[in-house]
Structure 1
Amino acid sequence: MARIKPFTAIRPAKDKVPFVASRSYEDYSNLEREAILRYNPFSFLHIVNPGYRYHKEISGSERFGLVRNRYLEFLEAGILVRDPEPALYVYALEKEGFSCTGIFCATDSADYAQNRIKKHENTIASREQLFASYLDHVGFNVEPVLMTYPDDDRVTVLIKGITQQHPDLFFTSPDRVTHRLWQVNDPETISDLVAAFGDIPHLYIADGHHRSASSLLLAEGKKAENPKHTGEEPYNFFMSYLIPESQVRISGFSRLVKDLNGWDKEALLFKLDSLFMIDNRGSEPYLPALKHHFSMYLDGDFYSLVLRNTAYDNNDPLESLDAHILYNKVLRPLLGIEDLRNDDRIDYDYSPHAAIQMKSKVDQGGYAIGFHLRAVQMEELKRIADNDLVMPPKSTYIEPKLRSGLTIYEF
């Protein structure tokens, strides 16, 4: 049973919260980043991109040191403020068509190591090491790991009681997302929440596998350096945001392949016919709504591909996963894509308008063919994690996407 813990957060000064909080660095276009860095001196982007001040790209340990310097400058200037005592933080996000309410807390890297915090993706060792080094240099964690848990009545009632009070923080960001945050520092309420989560068997990582793995590496390194290690030191924990699984929104990525690996259209369709029931839907955009149904866009037409029952093992969590089926039956044997992470012939694209976007990218000539899958369901994700399996890359696009700078965890 994974445990949660309150922590003493560093947060933006209340009059500067909308200016400090930022989306992830990669989520902005170059023009957006430039405008924010030029005109908003309070943006957290100044911390994560410290080279902007010097008009140069800075990397490695030099960048890590400057990130730490910018962070300390924000503290000294009162842009960031340290809370007086440990707390949990209930945070609600709302935008058109989506809302969620969860808890910022500290989670134990030992629970990740012992599989009480479950994963569904592989991590890359070099990225783990790089981010662990980054954490060691900067001394704080600003991007929470998104985790989910089975809906629980006790937790729901406790959170509802908290959110009926006036929030400590309330603002709407320029992308029309409404943010509310409640600081929970009442000892009895904290104890009740910690106990309630203590009865939940597992937490599941939705987004943040590398952050979790890197936090464990950091903890192991710090433990080796500390002869008085107890397991309760701040470096043993990392910041997470926990939401019930009913509030997680999972979408899919399109797969776009640059060529047909030597096949012509008719020959490829003939090969696919042995595995799928194929229906040419013409130019009308089509997205699949059912498991084992696939959308394919090729040479100006959308096709629905319905997997034949003999083509998969429904009792195997991985073999019955659509992303794995597409790789195992089409991308690898027919289109020659062996390495889904590193082959430069395949790209992945997320869009709220997936069919139109896929059509546009293929029609522009950069790609020969596109595929889209029904979104992975939460039960499929949990089944993969519970069986210690991993999904193919880019199997899920998971929301919420969280802001940097709303709460910061120091170690």
Structure 2
Amino acid sequence: MHLIRPFTGLRPAHNRATEVAAPPYDVLSTDEARIRAEDHPWSFLHISKPEIDLPAGTNPYAPEVYAKAAENLKKMLAEGILARDTMPCYYAYRLIMGGHSQIGLVAAASVADYDTNRIRKHEFTRPDKEDDRVRQIDALNAQTGPVLLAYPDAPEVDEILALAASAAPDADVTAEDGVRHTIWVIRDSATLDKLTAAFDAMHAIYIADGHHRSAAASRISAARKAANPQHSGEESYNYFLSVIFPHHQMKIMDYNRVVIDLNGLDTKAFLKRIAEQFSVQASASQVKPAKPNEFGLYLPGQWYRLEIRADLIPQNDPVARLDVSLLQNHLISPVLGINDPRRDKRIDFVGGIRGLAELEKRVDSGEMAVAFALCATRMEDLMAVADAGEVMPPKSTWFEPKLADGLVSHVLD
């Protein structure tokens, strides 16, 4: 089996992509999705968030929700809004957000390689979220939410994708958030073979976002394999929908922290405790860390620049040397008394897309007592954690721009 393979994608018909493309299912609440899809009958939100077409208050995990998704997909096919390619293809997918651009490959990735960790993970998954994706895939008999992956240095792949993106696009959509999504279909058999061979030569590729979707695909594959006495390994359920970008093009933003209180300390005592393990320097302006091991600290009306002592950074531990780990292990836990950031209600997380002004707002309003700005995790650090078979701390990465749902889906024959 190949690490990836081309597939017969389910895509918006000609000139329909703008009507169909939608944000990922997990970035909008039901209420937000209902508003976004109003007067947009062909928005993919009717498939990815089908509870919007049922009475308000419907449990989004109820059986009728998944049935509604299947009904809506069937309708979009019957009306010719979506159509399936007649031959297996790869697809080049370019994202542009402001001055940032990245070009990746839409492909079907091997479940077997996911199961053996050649497609590498860095997060734990929650059974309830896996269950939701399993039910969605089963109801649709298709994977509609792509897994975001990264591939290591492969100049030949980069060149093929850049060449594909120099042609006229097959779909070109600018979303409401200003992000531009462009798709090119790659049909040339020699190019398909080159891409497949190039990925077969890679030692690993890496999940960036979509751990629940890939875990669900693995569960679907195992169940269908067990139920199929003619199983050959070539069935489409042995692969999952993915978009794979070169790791050096991917953009990770900072994932910042805010805390409700100072754990019984006043400001002076709090800063004194921090100074035991960090240098602390007051700043007349916002502090956006420019390098690893540097942090911004915001208390009401005042920013500080923190830098952790070099002797506290464990160079040989890919998890413990992450900035999110250093902040947690040397400040948030010992000083603020938050030992389990996954479950402790005193801490919250703010994606860097919201900017430092959001940190100031939440502290100055009195909602939070203190905020921490971090340097964004690097892709190289994520890959090192995955290569070591370890797991990233919670809320370590915030990838932007986000993929769109609906531009290419993977049908399970």
Whether these two folds match at TM > 0.5 is yes
Q: Which moved more, 1:204-213 or 1:164-173?
A: 164-173
Equivalent residues in 2 for 1:148-297, closer than 5 Å: 148-282=150-284, 284-297=285-298
Question: What code does the residue aligned with 1:80 have?
Answer: L
| Residue aligning to 2:83 | 81
Instruction: Spell out, residue by residue over 1:50-81, the C-alpha distance to the aligned partner (whole angstroms, 9 max, x if none).
Output: 33334332432221111111111111111111
| Residue aligning to 1:370 | 371
| Residue aligning to 1:134 | 136
| Residue aligning to 2:126 | 124
Equivalent residues in 2 for 1:58-69, closer than 5 Å: 58=59, 59-69=61-71
| Residue aligning to 1:306 | 307
| Residue aligning to 1:43 | 43
Q: CA deviation at 1:88?
A: 0.6
Q: CA deviation at 1:338?
A: 2.3
Q: CA deviation at 1:353?
A: 5.2
Matched residue of 1:295: which SS? strand
Question: What code does the residue aligned with 1:111 have?
Answer: D
Identity of aligned residues (%): 37
Matched residue of 2:280: which SS? strand
Contact 1:11 1:82 survives alignment (8 Å) = yes
Matched residue of 1:39: which SS? coil
| Residue aligning to 2:325 | 324
Matched residue of 1:352: which SS? helix
CA distance in 1, matches of 2:127, 2:333: 24
Question: What code does the residue aligned with 2:83 have?
Answer: V
CA distance in 2, matches of 1:52, 1:274: 52
Question: What code does the residue aligned with 2:45 have?
Answer: L
> Residues 320 and 36 of structure 1: is their aligned pair in 2 closer, same or farther, counting only changes over 3 Å?
closer
CA distance in 2, matches of 1:264, 1:310: 28
Structure 1: gaps of 5 or more residues: none
| Residue aligning to 1:114 | 116
CA distance in 2, matches of 1:377, 1:158: 25
Contact 2:149 2:209 survives alignment (8 Å) = yes
> Residues 110 and 401 of structure 1: is their aligned pair in 2 closer, same or farther, counting only changes over 3 Å?
same
| Residue aligning to 1:52 | 52
* Alignment RMSD (CA, Å): 1.8
Question: What code does the residue aligned with 2:82 have?
Answer: L
Matched residue of 2:288: which SS? coil
CA distance in 2, matches of 1:27, 1:125: 19
TM-score normalized with structure 2 length: 0.94
Q: CA deviation at 1:86?
A: 1.2
| Residue aligning to 1:97 | 99
Aligned residue pairs total: 410
CA distance in 2, matches of 1:157, 1:383: 25
Matched residue of 2:38: which SS? helix
Contact 1:351 1:357 survives alignment (8 Å) = no
Contact 2:30 2:51 survives alignment (8 Å) = no
Contact 2:3 2:110 survives alignment (8 Å) = yes
Is 2:9 aligned against 1:9? yes
Question: What code does the residue aligned with 1:38 have?
Answer: E
Instruction: Spell out, residue by residue over 1:377-406, the C-alpha distance to the aligned partner (whole angstroms, 9 max, x if none).
Output: 121111111111111111111123100000
Instruction: Spell out, residue by residue over 1:297-343, the C-alpha distance to the aligned partner (whole angstroms, 9 max, x if none).
Output: 11321111111122231221112111011111122222122222222
Contact 1:21 1:406 survives alignment (8 Å) = yes
Q: CA deviation at 1:13?
A: 1.3
Question: What code does the residue aligned with 2:341 have?
Answer: L
CA distance in 2, matches of 1:74, 1:239: 20
